[in-house]
Structure 1
Amino acid sequence: MRTSPLTPRRALAALATVAVLVPLAACGNDGSGKGDSAGKGDSTELTVLAAASLTDVFKTAGKEYEKEHPGTKVTFSFAGSQELAAQVKQGAPADALVTADTRTMDGLKAETGKPVVIARNRLVIATGEGNPEKVKSLKDLTDSGLKVVLAAPEVPVGRYSKQVLDAQKLKVEPVSRETNVRAVLSKVELGEADAGIVYRTDAATAPGKVDAVDIPDSQNALASYPAATLKQSSHANRAADFVKWLRSDKAQKLLREAGFQKP
Structure 2
Amino acid sequence: MRNSHRPLRRALLIAGAAMLAVCSNARADELIVSAAASLTNAFKAIGEAYEQQHPGTKVLLNFGASDVLMRQIAKGAPADVFASADQKAMDKAVEEKVVDPATRRDFAANALVLIVPADSRFTPATLKDLTSADIRRVAYGDPASVPIGRYAQGALQAAGVWDAVSAKSVLASNVRQSLDYVSRGEVDAGFVFATDAAIMPDRVKVALTVPTQTAVTYPIALVEGSRHASDAKAFIAYVLSADGQAVLAKYGFKPAGAAH
Structure 1 length normalisation: TM-score?
A: 0.80
Q: Which residue of 1 aligns with 2:83?
A: 98
Q: Percent identity?
A: 37
Q: Which residue of 2 aligns with 1:186?
A: 180
Structure with larger Rg = 1
Q: Deviations over 1:72-125 (max 9, x none)?
A: 111100000111111111010111100011111111221212310010111011
1:150 partner amino acid: Y
Equivalent residue number for residue 229 of structure 2: 236
Give the alignment of 1:69-218 within 5 angstroms.
69-109=54-94, 110-113=97-100, 114=102, 115-146=104-135, 147-154=137-144, 155-171=146-162, 172=165, 173-215=167-209, 217=211
Q: What 5-or-longer segments of structure 1 have no aligned partner?
A: 1-41
Task: Give the alignment partner of residue 224 of structure 1, picking from 204, 217, 230.
Answer: 217
CA RMSD of aligned residues (A): 1.7
Segment of structure 1 superposing worse, 139-148 or 251-260: 139-148
* Residue-pair matches, total: 221
Tell me what 1:248 maps to.
Answer: 241
Q: Which amino acid aligns with 2:159?
A: Q
- Secondary structure (helix, strand or coil) at the match of 1:214 reads strand
Q: Which amino acid aligns with 2:187?
A: A
Which has the higher mean CA deviation after the structures are superposed, 83-92 or 135-144? 135-144
Partner AA of 1:96 in structure 2: V
Of 138-147 and 113-122, the range deviating more from structure 2: 138-147
> What is the alpha-carbon distance in structure 1 between the residues aligned to residue 194 and residue 215 of structure 2?
11
Deviation at 1:127, TM superposition (A): 0.7
Counterpart Cα distance in 1 of 2:201 and 2:29: 36
| Structure with the larger helix share | 2
Alignment deviations for residues 44-71 of structure 1 (CA, whole Å, 9 cap, x no partner)? 1100000000001111111111111111
Q: Which structure 2 residues correspond to residues 40-59 of structure 1 after superposition, within 5 A?
A: 44-59=29-44
Q: SS where residue 121 of structure 2 aligns?
A: coil
Contact 1:122 1:221 in 2 (8 A): no
Q: State the shift of 1:126 in Å.
A: 1.1
Structure 1's consecutive aligned runs of 4 or more residues displaced over 4 angstroms after TM superposition are none
Structure 2 unmatched ranges of 5 or more: 1-26
SS at match of 2:177: helix
